[in-house]
């Protein structure tokens, strides 16, 4: 495959560019009989869309989704579900010098070298706007998993730049523009962002995404392990530079006697593993941490070159997210949902029986 | 695919169990005309094999590889290359109670739930022994990449437990049993391991793997990005819990003005990106960091259950690596080679022209 | 994959239903730099669309295609090309009793059993209308192959029911509504069809599709042989029940001394092989014959059952093609183009060099 | 994939050359818990192996298979099953001039052009010997399908050259060296073959393969239709030039009122469809017809060229099948089994429930 299809059995083929006529996706392999309408997809898109606070890009997109196929009388038919989102607010004039210059840290340079041609408007295909169709597809997967197994998928920001965001409650996440699971830290985050915008700079972020009530047995060793596919999904999201399962890099300094989650008949007593053992889900909550780099479109001038190999100083104006991590939570949730969905179908193919096992931790204690 | 094939166009299908008759793989898609013999594969296997120092498992395996197909008169023919390694030192009697008990932190539990049956001897399919065929396949990829583009792939351990191993020189790596790029720290590592073995415990490790002279343009967005496929490959290696590209989790606290690697016409001036921009190789060295968890087969007794759901105290005797990270360097190198190889072929399919671009950093300064 | 994607490297993901809002496809893997516009796709769609003569369905669809992505400033960018066709003339009221009855010979019964739900309007997903996006995608492949290698892809009807259509000239094909390469037989075909419509019955057809200037070396044994993939492509077209390469079923009675095409240095002297030897293109014209069954939507009453398992007599009214073979020529051409395109990219991945070899027959003598 | 893997979820990766050290395959995705031993695979290999009558090649191969992995205590574990067959009777000296000359009708020419190098000994990778591992893999699929659904897969020769073999009884098939379902015609076939060998020529054949008790609902439109995948599987077998489902090319002259199989509640009343409607199995027997071309390795001299482009007269001595169709029955059965197996798993992934429907014809009347 040429790279625009995600998933083997619940597969999502993504298309579109930031400033082209439309973006969208085709979901192939959705089980028949799921009740589905736009009303169940749109809210997830609304969580991700731009222009909702002063801390994100001011581009105005309603991201209104249309279902073109695969749903009949309110239910999925097992045939491809095509989802279409028209682009609306393309101010291509903003991107004048990006056409001929390479932003340091941006895909400008590599797209140019790979294809010999690129749609530079708004980053074209490399724009984070391409995640919108994945959020829409993820909404379908989330719904199916929730109805079938009670699976819950949640995410939050755990650090913005060098400001840590200690976990307080999942309830807080929807109450602030940062997807912070801690309302108390919000004023500090707002001040941080206001300073950053004033400087014309950008910053990274750290996010967590987790799932509970995950069926035991998901994952297809040797290579399509659940954690391998999660790492693939997460690292493939724009700007992600690091992925951890469970304790992640902390395992380096851990002893085996500490790391291995004790599992008496009453259930797992900890979750250092992050829900995956040997590449297969254990029934513990699946816990993933992700590092997101600072946006490369900033006002601060930087040394670079143009498409003719000549020296250039790049300053990027126009509308950009100073921290792409802020809108990334719904994206990571969607990607985790898509991986889990695909693995349920894969597991069902070979093993027929899929179930949620009893000895699982509850989410808040287990994460 | 059911999960035992790695790669799309240079694809490696892996088979075998730790204590079965043999392990091996089939490489499909190798370009014709590469000169190849056992002598070019065996040295990589020897770097990985057990029993070479007191710090690794004492299982004796020569890991002698046989080429069954795909090579004619010393050259690859473009047809599948099957590689076979017979298992020799199977002491299955060592594994008595593993048959009915689940080791905390081990794949015992999840394999049992996934398949309803498992070859428990030596961990069966979940054993790190399954990486040997990948090292063999990686040797083929390494050779082709080196001959075609001058690509060099190197790895080293950067931390053992809480002992950091500061990078000194790639030359040191082959001179100590830890793949440490710093001979001075070796006595400390040996003492650390001796203590650990005495305690019957295990520990994690941190490794780096890197490639220079990587052609620019590798990676297939939106999903088969080079870094996404690297994350998939690395997280799929036994015991890996975290993967970073370039600066990895450090990007969280970085500003965009710092993170974006300046790229005047003379070449990249830093490598925070780790060689990948927008999911496509930039020509900078590809740099990956990996966290490896402590082995779950330890003598320290732990609380667990058996296959009947009854409480059990697990103590694992027999031959095990107290730090699987020690032998992981050649494995990570092989996986990186396989990803790069696959992406060269993918890129060549769509874009025909593949080349190493001029403005690249040298390895020692760039990493 | 769940079945709606065709091709590995030049892959086309199809979506839509006969009476849904829209049909279309996403082409992933198109090489960058191909000049492309709607004007180059629409003519192929016009050759296939309904309502163009009294011998085909009278459904009125302009099949106007919109390019949603993947083309920038008139050239392909290497990113997915999404093509959209809105449905216009859905008279769903025509299909009342099809909702609950199974037409003998139709997919009604199997879709119902496979999915437990089906969009019965106009055959839903099983409608031949789903071939329109393939014709559009095929136009892109045709153009690239023509520009790159001078490859020509042509098809014609060779029998309508029991009326044979002797090959006279490719020029005739566009001059009659049957895609007959023989204008002289057209009056007989028209009379045949008029009788058939009067009887409310349908009939089968035989078609040929061929390609010249096919690069030598296409095909990926052991399984993705060029002829195997052609057979897959053709048998997958609605109503196809037989596929032949070259002499096809005539080879049963042939001797080896006759069948093997002599190949002195001046070139192949015959083409019994149909352009493929050992699953790999030889440079001879690729020649394929296809059998298409009679439409199952006919007015003649037949014995069947309904979705409740009760006996039913089925008579189908509404708008239907009495011979789906009449509009099938552009579809088969498109499918052949897609297979060839995919195999050029596959071959290029492994072998880098692709060329049209000199000793090839010209089309008219070789077929 | 590079072409040596067959199947998506029950996937078989084939390796080896006619005169290399070994041939074999890796089956990935076999459900766990199937009881399996060499004794259940070997009999199928024995049906196909050479040297069993004077009418086939006299090469002596016992084709003894070894199971290298995936089976533990007599049961499949869900992990890859590697099967190994050592080559024994390689008389490479027989093949002297094949090294530099191209046999008309043979893969010599195309392999040379595709890869620029080829193992010419015994046809190398293009040899029909490569079907042996598929027969072994097919034995596993056959067993699983039989145990799960009572599926029976049978094949027979229906014409040898211009001698038709009218179907009499499945019982006859194992009683003569031609896999003829009619013992009475055997003397005529023997005389025909004796003449053919005397002439140093070869001839084609026609075969039928069928399956009963096929679950309803198998097939994944739009492209991975059951009949499309069967056509792919069959056309990919060495020397096959035509594939028909059910009535095949006879449908061209059929009327819809005749072709559509009436389906009152008591069951299908005919089987013109060959068991597939709309690309999905209907529960009718699946019936496939195949045309096999005459072998290209014959003693009759023919005009050709050598690898330097010089004129050459080719006469092939050594051991060859004068009619490869004679040994093809077990191969076609295996390929049909593999397709059905793969589609059961695919269907189970999306639809969970798989069953054999009641209204099916019995085999002898239905074919």
- Which of D223, D236, D253 has the CB atom closest to C4's CB atom? D223
In A, minimum Cα distance to C11 occurs at: A1
Give the pLDDT confidence of A59-86 residue by residue, as tens digits. 788 999 999 999 999 999 999 999 999 9
- Which of D78, D351, D352 has the CB atom closest to A350's CB atom? D78
- Looking at residue B17, what DSSP letter applies? -
Going edge to edge, which strands form the sheet with A11-16? A5-6, A11-16, A22-28, A81-86, A65-67
User: Which domains does chain C show, CATH number per domain?
Assistant: 5-366 (3.60.150.10)
Return the pLDDT at D26. 98
Closest CA to D129 of D33, D29, D20: D20
Min CA distance, C365 vs chain B (Å)?
Answer: 33
Is the CB of residue C18 less than 8 Å away from at least one CB of chain A?
Answer: no
Given a cut of 90, whether residue C316 has pLDDT beyond it is no
Exposed, middle or buried by CB within 10 Å (0-12, 13-18, 19+), for B54?
exposed
Tokens representing C263?
A: 């190949």
DSSP string, B270-292: --TT-SEETTEE-SSPEEEEEEE
Going edge to edge, which strands form the sheet with D152-160? C163-164, C152-160, C205-212, C286-292, C240-245, D240-245, D286-292, D205-212, D152-160, D163-164
DSSP string, C56-124: S--------EEE-SSEETTEE-SS-EEEEEE-----GGGGGGGGTB--TTSTHHHHHHHHS----GGGG
pLDDT grade for C93, boundaries at 50, 70 and 90: low
Strands (E), B1-134: 5-6, 11-16, 22-28, 65-67, 71-72, 75-76, 81-86
pLDDT grade for C367, boundaries at 50, 70 and 90: very low
Given a cut of 90, whether residue C352 has pLDDT beyond it is no
Beta bridge partners of residue C211, listed in sequence order:
C153, C286
My answer on whether omega of the bond before A222 falls inside 30° of 0, hence cis, is: yes
Give the pLDDT confidence of C190-240 residue by residue, as tens digits. 999 999 999 999 999 999 999 999 999 999 999 999 999 999 999 999 999
How far is the CA of B26 from the CAs of A6, B145, D12, D23, D301, in angstroms? 25, 19, 11, 11, 39
A11–C77 C-beta distance less than 8 A:
no
Min CA distance, B344 vs chain C (Å)?
Answer: 8
Give the pLDDT confidence of C102-113 residue by residue, as tens digits. 999 999 999 998
Tokens representing B269?
A: 């001036």
pLDDT grade for B57, boundaries at 50, 70 and 90: confident
User: In the predicted model, what is the mean pLDDT of residues A13-24?
Assistant: 96
- As a whole number, the mean pLDDT across chain A is 92
Given a cut of 50, whether residue B284 has pLDDT beyond it is yes
Largest distance between two CA atoms of chain C: 67
Return the pLDDT at D359. 41
Tokens representing C354?
A: 């692709």
A28–C2 C-beta distance less than 8 A:
yes
pLDDT grade for A358, boundaries at 50, 70 and 90: very low
- As a whole number, the mean pLDDT across chain B is 92
Return the pLDDT at D52. 81
A78–D9 C-beta distance less than 8 A:
no
User: In the predicted model, what is the mean pLDDT of residues D264-283?
Assistant: 95
Tokens representing D15?
A: 């390796």
Return the pLDDT at C52. 81
- As a whole number, the mean pLDDT across chain C is 92
Look up the pTM and report it: 0.96
For the annotated binding site of D for FMN, the residues are 125-127, 238-239, 278, 293-297, 319
Given a cut of 50, whether residue D255 has pLDDT beyond it is yes
Element (H, E) at A363: helix A363-366
Compute the distance between CA of residue D226 and CA of residue C111 in angstroms, rounded to an integer: 13
Give the pLDDT confidence of A30-56 residue by residue, as tens digits. 999 999 999 999 999 999 987 788 888
D204–C252 C-beta distance less than 8 A:
yes
Cβ atoms < 10 Å from Cβ of A313: 10
Give the residue carrying structure tokens 């009659």.
C176
B68–D15 C-beta distance less than 8 A:
yes
Compute the distance between CA of residue D193 and CA of residue D161 in angstroms, rounded to an integer: 10
Q: Which residues of D touch A349 (CB under 8 A)?
A: 9, 29, 345-346, 348-349
User: What residues of chain B, 115 to 154, have a C-beta less than 8 Å from chain A?
Assistant: 115-116, 125-126, 130
How far is the CA of D222 from the CAs of A34, C1, C110, D166, in angstroms? 20, 11, 13, 36
Return the pLDDT at D366. 33
Return the pLDDT at D94. 58
Is the CB of residue B251 less than 8 Å away from at least one CB of chain A?
Answer: yes
Exposed, middle or buried by CB within 10 Å (0-12, 13-18, 19+), for D184?
exposed
Give the pLDDT confidence of D164-193 residue by residue, as tens digits. 999 999 999 999 999 999 999 999 999 999
- The more confidently predicted of residues D358 and B20 is B20
- Which of B29, B30, B350 has the CB atom closest to C345's CB atom? B350
DSSP string, D119-131: --GGGGGGSGGGG
Give the pLDDT confidence of B96-152 residue by residue, as tens digits. 678 889 999 999 999 998 999 989 988 899 999 999 999 999 999 999 999 999 999
Compute the distance between CA of residue D29 and CA of residue C101 in angstroms, rounded to an integer: 38
B350–C350 C-beta distance less than 8 A:
no
Give the pLDDT confidence of D34-51 residue by residue, as tens digits. 999 999 999 999 999 877
- As a whole number, the mean pLDDT across chain D is 92
Return the pLDDT at C364. 37
Tokens representing A241?
A: 């530079």
Return the pLDDT at B362. 38
Radius of gyration, CA atoms only, chain D: 21
- The more confidently predicted of residues A248 and A2 is A248
Q: Which residues of C touch D126 (CB under 8 A)?
A: 221, 278-279
- Which of B103, B204, B233 has the CB atom closest to A252's CB atom? B204
Q: Which residues of C touch D260 (CB under 8 A)?
A: 103-106, 294, 296, 298, 302
- Which of A29, A78, A350 has the CB atom closest to D31's CB atom? A350
In B, minimum Cα distance to D26 occurs at: B15
Given a contact as 3+ CB pairs under 8 Å, which chains touch C? A, B, D
Give the pLDDT confidence of D125-161 residue by residue, as tens digits. 999 999 999 999 999 999 999 999 999 999 999 999 9
D14–B72 C-beta distance less than 8 A:
no
Is the CB of residue C315 less than 8 Å away from at least one CB of chain D?
Answer: no
**ipTM value of the model?**
0.96
pLDDT grade for D309, boundaries at 50, 70 and 90: confident
Is the CB of residue A229 less than 8 Å away from at least one CB of chain B?
Answer: yes
Is the CB of residue B273 less than 8 Å away from at least one CB of chain A?
Answer: yes
Give the pLDDT confidence of B242-277 residue by residue, as tens digits. 999 999 999 999 999 999 999 999 889 999 999 999
Compute the distance between CA of residue B74 and CA of residue B83 in angstroms, rounded to an integer: 15
Three-state DSSP class for residue D63: coil
Compute the distance between CA of residue C76 and CA of residue A45 in angstroms, rounded to an integer: 29
User: In the predicted model, what is the mean pLDDT of residues B337-356?
Assistant: 86
Give the pLDDT confidence of B214-228 residue by residue, as tens digits. 999 999 999 999 999
Q: What share of chain C is helix, strand, coil (3-state, %, to 5)?
A: 35, 20, 45
User: At B94, phi and psi to the nearest 5?
Assistant: -60, -20
C113–D274 C-beta distance less than 8 A:
no
Element (H, E) at A335: helix A329-351
pLDDT grade for D105, boundaries at 50, 70 and 90: very high
Return the pLDDT at D146. 95
User: In the predicted model, what is the mean pLDDT of residues D69-83?
Assistant: 97
D351–A31 C-beta distance less than 8 A:
yes
Q: Name the least confident of A260-264, B227-231, D353-357.
A: D353-357
Compute the distance between CA of residue C7 and CA of residue B363 in angstroms, rounded to an integer: 39
């Amino acid at each position: 495959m040429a790279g625009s299809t995600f998933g083997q059995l619940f597969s999502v083929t993504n298309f579109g560019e930031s400033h082209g006529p439309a973006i969208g996706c085709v979901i192939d392999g959705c089980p028949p009989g799921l009740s589905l309408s736009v009303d169940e997809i749109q809210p997830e898109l609304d969580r991700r869309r731009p222009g909702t606070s002063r801390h994100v890009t001011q581009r105005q997109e309603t991201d209104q989704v249309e279902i073109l196929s695969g749903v009949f009388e309110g239910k999925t038919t097992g045939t491809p579900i095509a989802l279409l989102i028209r682009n609306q607010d393309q101010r291509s004039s903003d991107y004048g010098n990006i056409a001929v210059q390479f932003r340091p840290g941006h895909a400008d340079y590599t797209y140019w070298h790979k294809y010999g041609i690129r749609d530079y408007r708004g980053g074209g295909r490399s724009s984070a706007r391409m995640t919108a169709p994945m959020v829409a597809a993820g909404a379908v997967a989330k719904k199916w998993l929730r109805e079938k197994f009670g699976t819950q998928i949640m995410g939050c920001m755990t650090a913005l730049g060098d400001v840590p965001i200690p976990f307080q409650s999942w309830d807080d996440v929807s109450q602030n523009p940062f997807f912070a699971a801690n309302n108390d830290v919000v004023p500090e985050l707002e001040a941080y962002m206001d300073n950053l915008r004033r400087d014309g700079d950008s910053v990274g972020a750290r996010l967590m995404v987790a799932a509970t009530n995950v069926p035991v047995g998901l994952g297809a060793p040797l290579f399509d392990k659940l954690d391998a596919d999660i790492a693939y999904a997460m690292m493939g999201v724009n700007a992600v530079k690091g992925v951890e399962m469970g304790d992640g890099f902390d395992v380096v300094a851990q002893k085996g006697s500490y790391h291995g989650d004790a599992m008496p008949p009453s259930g797992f007593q900890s979750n250092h593993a992050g829900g995956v053992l040997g590449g297969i889900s254990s029934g513990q909550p699946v816990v993933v941490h992700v590092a997101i780099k600072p946006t490369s479109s900033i006002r601060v001038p930087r040394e670079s070159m143009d498409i003719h190999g000549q020296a250039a100083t790049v300053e990027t104006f126009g509308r950009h997210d100073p921290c792409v991590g802020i809108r990334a939570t719904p994206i990571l949730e969607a990607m985790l949902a898509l991986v889990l969905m695909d693995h349920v179908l894969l597991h069902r193919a070979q093993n027929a029986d899929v179930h949620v096992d009893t000895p699982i931790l509850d989410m808040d204690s287990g994460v």
